[in-house]
């Protein structure tokens, strides 16, 4: 197999909500149109969104690139984002041996603009037509020889430019041999979505699609946005799996989530994770051991060792659930309530004995339990046991966010 550019997103945590909402929209559209089919959808697998559908009529795959840009953005064929996507589509089609069941899509909030002369068009000695080339490509079945020749030249040149940075050539030898019929076949596989809805409008459209699904009923009324949010979260959790096969969500999982929402088993994600992201870096860089020793003159070393092991355990627990934003939200909630409690504790206690410090941790743990019980009426957290909450509080102290001595609060 020819070696191609690795286009997998390196910072998947920053996947666009636009992209995830498009994935929700695509899987719901397939459920509405193809009831009874096997439908899988993933983000950051092949392309931004990868949709697979299998039914008695046959199997198809759809790969989409999503570009969420500011209002009034304009794309042309020579826009780098467009060319990168087209080169990725060329590679994808070649990897699947020019499969006739593979299709592509390019979805963006930007609009189409008229081509302008650039370094690439000058080097290729291209005279640009009056009609934007992206408008021409959108109607592949109507492309005549002259514009097709221009499009081929630009795409082959862009392909070579992108691979010039690497020590391999991808499928350049193959595509240079494509005849016009193959090029038209390829271009006809791409669906272009320009001037698309913003995130709010995408969510509204997803809600309307939900209402058309076979599993939609009265018990989901006014819970549609909650279900859309839950499906978005599912895509978010799965996108970081090392195994690409684990990144897919099946239509049956969407149905199951709908049933859980109907039954009141699903609650919304806690948005407090956004607050944690915006916390300034702490300036108290002492670890838990240093903070304990600063707060009290003597402390049992074996107990301190036990606290340190609890910190390590908490980090393992958090790492195991690193794709769940509710863990980060929980961490912020604990930080906030413990910080407020420690402010009051520090105001009356200038020095602490070991007994005092143990009491402080016990009080913070009881406060955390109470907070989580209250918040769990609206939000769902993956770590709620007394031991996990206690360990996370100690970890917050070790990671510089909490302290026990008055001058450091």
69 versus 161: the higher-pLDDT residue is: 161
Q: Is the pLDDT of residue 407 over 70?
A: no
Asked if residue 40 lies in contact with residue 235, where contact means CB atoms within 8 angstroms, the answer is no
Q: What is the pLDDT of residue 10?
A: 40
CA distance 221 to 341: 41
Q: At what angle do helices 386-398 and 288-295 cross, to 10 degrees?
A: 90
**Cβ within 8 Å of residue 361, ≥6 positions away:** 390, 393, 394
pLDDT (tens digit per residue) in 155-186 = 999 999 999 888 888 999 999 999 999 999 99
Residue 10: helix, strand or coil by DSSP? coil
Q: How confident is the model at residue 15 (pLDDT cuts 50, 70, 90)?
A: very low
Helices (H), 71-169: 80-95, 119-123, 133-138, 145-163
CA distance 395 to 313: 9
What mean pLDDT is predicted for residues 126-154?
Answer: 91
Q: Is the pLDDT of residue 255 over 90?
A: yes
393 versus 4: the higher-pLDDT residue is: 393
* Cα 88 to chain centroid, rounded: 20
Of 68-72, 270-274, 292-296, 301-305, which has the strongest mean pLDDT? Answer: 301-305
Q: How confident is the model at residue 380 (pLDDT cuts 50, 70, 90)?
A: confident
Per DSSP, 408 falls in state: G
Task: Tokens 């096969």: give the residue.
Answer: 245
pLDDT > 70 in the chain, percent: 94
Element (H, E) at 26: helix 17-33
Q: Mean pLDDT over all residues of the chain? A: 89
What mean pLDDT is predicted for residues 199-219?
Answer: 93
């Amino acid at each position: 197999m020819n070696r191609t550019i690795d286009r997998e997103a390196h910072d998947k945590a920053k996947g666009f909500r636009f992209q995830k909402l498009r994935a929700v929209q695509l899987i719901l559209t397939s459920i509405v149109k193809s009831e009874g089919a096997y439908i899988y959808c993933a983000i950051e697998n092949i392309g931004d969104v990868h949709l697979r559908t299998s039914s008695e009529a046959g199997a198809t795959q759809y790969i989409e690139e999503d570009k969420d840009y500011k209002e009034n953005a304009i794309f042309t064929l020579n826009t780098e984002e467009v060319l990168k996507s087209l080169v990725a589509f060329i590679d994808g089609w070649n990897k699947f041996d020019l499969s006739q069941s593979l299709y592509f899509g390019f979805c963006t909030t930007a609009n189409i603009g008229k081509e302008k002369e650039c370094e690439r068009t000058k080097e290729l000695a291209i005279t640009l037509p009056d009609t934007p080339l992206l408008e021409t490509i959108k109607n592949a079945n109507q492309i005549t020889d002259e514009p097709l020749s221009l499009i081929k030249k630009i795409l082959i040149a862009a392909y070579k430019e992108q691979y010039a940075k690497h020590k391999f050539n991808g499928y350049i030898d193959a595509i240079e041999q494509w005849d016009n019929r193959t090029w038209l076949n390829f271009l006809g596989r791409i669906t272009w979505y320009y001037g698309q809805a913003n995130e709010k409008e995408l969510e509204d459209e997803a809600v309307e699609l939900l209402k058309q699904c076979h599993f939609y009923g009265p018990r989901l009324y006014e819970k549609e946005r909650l279900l859309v949010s839950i499906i978005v979260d599912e895509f978010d959790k799965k996108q970081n799996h090392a195994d690409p096969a684990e990144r897919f969500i099946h239509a049956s999982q969407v149905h199951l989530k709908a049933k859980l929402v109907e039954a009141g088993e699903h609650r919304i994600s806690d948005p407090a994770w956004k607050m944690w992201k915006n916390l300034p870096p702490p300036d108290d860089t002492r670890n838990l051991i240093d903070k304990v020793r600063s707060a009290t003159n003597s402390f049992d070393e074996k107990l301190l060792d036990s606290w340190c092991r609890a910190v390590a355990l908490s980090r393992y627990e958090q790492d195991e659930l690193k794709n769940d934003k509710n863990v980060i939200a929980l961490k912020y909630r604990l930080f906030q309530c413990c910080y407020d409690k420690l402010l009051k504790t520090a105001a009356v206690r200038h020095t602490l004995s070991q007994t005092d410090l143990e009491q402080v941790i016990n009080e913070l743990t009881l406060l955390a339990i109470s907070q989580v019980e209250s918040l769990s009426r609206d939000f769902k957290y993956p770590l709620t046991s007394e031991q996990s909450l206690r360990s996370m509080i100690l970890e917050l102290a070790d990671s510089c966010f909490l302290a026990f001595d008055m001058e450091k609060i």
